[in-house]
Copies of this chain bind each other. A is one copy, B any other.
Amino acid sequence: MTRNLDVCLTPALIPIYNVSDYIVVVIDIFRATSSICYGIENGAEAIIPVSEVEECAAYREKGLDYLLAAERDGKVVAGFDFGNSPFSYTSEKVSGKTVVLTTTNGTHALHLSRSAKRIVIGSFLNLTALCTWLKTQNENILLVCAGWKNNFNLEDTLFAGAVIEQLKGDGYVLDDPAIAANDLFQLGKNDIPQYLSKTSHGERLKKLGIEKDIAFCLQVDLTTAIPVLDGDQLVTLV
């Protein structure tokens, strides 16, 4: 059977794909999916992605076991426990807890991918674990880049290229965005932080004073947990 390995470069392009034909990997390197991988690795019971800040706030009334995380335009929304910095997802903070998370781009991409056969979360942190699992699945794969405000960004695309690098020997058919993503990865792979330092988004994040977060999110294979959407919650794949 021919399997397709496709890359959706921004959430705005999700409608072009028949999402229900795919396992979807959602990618938002700076910083949502990196933090989700780290949080699930560190024992968060679940992470609930919600689209709107208001939905997130509504969980406050449901009890004290929820940590509320809200990020917009790279900053923690006023009144929330934290945003999407990976340093907020250590085991001290999240172990045994449920995190309710809304972010600018990542949760948007997740919600638009709802009809997929399965939705998993990817980041450099869990790269090889993710790819090893994907290879065992006899399914088409769609790598969905969360991008920045519905447009293409380099870091998510580069990560898609890194996934393709591990899978491409297995006989998948690549679409043009997948070919491009993997080619860009060839240019960046020897020094990913250096390669990404020239991007507009990298500049934007630097201005926000989160260089430490960026460096953290570009670590490869720090974790092995694969967050998977189960109902409306992201939990660890078992």
* A interface, CB within 8 angstroms of B: 9-10, 12-13, 16, 148-154, 157, 174-177, 179-180, 183-184, 186-187, 198-201
Cβ of A201 to closest chain B Cβ, rounded Å = 6
The reply to whether B150 and A176 form a contact with Cβ atoms under 8 Å apart is no
- A117 to B: closest C-beta gap in Å: 21
Q: A10-B13, A12-B16, A187-B186 are in contact. Are A151 and B177 (CB under 8 A)?
A: yes
CB distance from A121 to the nearest CB of B (A): 22
Other-chain residue from B13, B149, B179, B180 in contact with A180 (beta carbon distance below 8 A):
B180
Chain B residues near A186: list those with CB within 8 A: 187
What is the bound-complex CA distance between A129 and B201, given in angstroms? 32
B201 x A176 contact (CB < 8 A) = yes
B154–A176 CB distance below 8 A: yes
What's the minimum C-beta distance from A29 to chain B, rounded to whole angstroms?
Answer: 12
How distant is A162 from chain B, measured CB to nearest CB, in Å? Answer: 15
Option from B151, B175, B176, B199 in Cβ contact (under 8 Å) with A179: B199
Query: Is the CB–CB distance between A176 and B149 below 8 Å?
Result: no
CB A226 to nearest CB in B, in angstroms, measures 27
Contact partner of A151 among B16, B174, B198, CB < 8 A? B16
A148 to B152, CA, bound (A): 17
Cβ of A200 and Cβ of B175 under 8 Å apart?
yes
Is A180 a contact of B151 with CB atoms below 8 Å? Answer: no
9 contacts between A and B (CB under 8 A): A12-B12, A12-B13, A13-B150, A151-B175, A154-B176, A157-B180, A180-B184, A184-B184, A187-B187
A15 to nearest B CB, angstroms?
8
Determine which of B9, B179, B198 lies in contact with A198 in the assembled complex, contact meaning CB atoms within 8 Å.
B179
Smallest CB-CB separation from A174: which chain B residue? Answer: B200
User: How far, in whole Å, are A125 and B175 apart by their CA atoms in the complex?
Assistant: 26
Since A13-B13, A151-B177, A179-B198 are in contact, a sample of 15 more A-B pairs with Cβ atoms closer than 8 Å, ordered by chain A residue number, is A10-B13, A12-B12, A12-B16, A151-B176, A152-B177, A154-B176, A157-B180, A175-B200, A176-B199, A176-B200, A176-B201, A179-B200, A180-B180, A180-B184, A183-B187
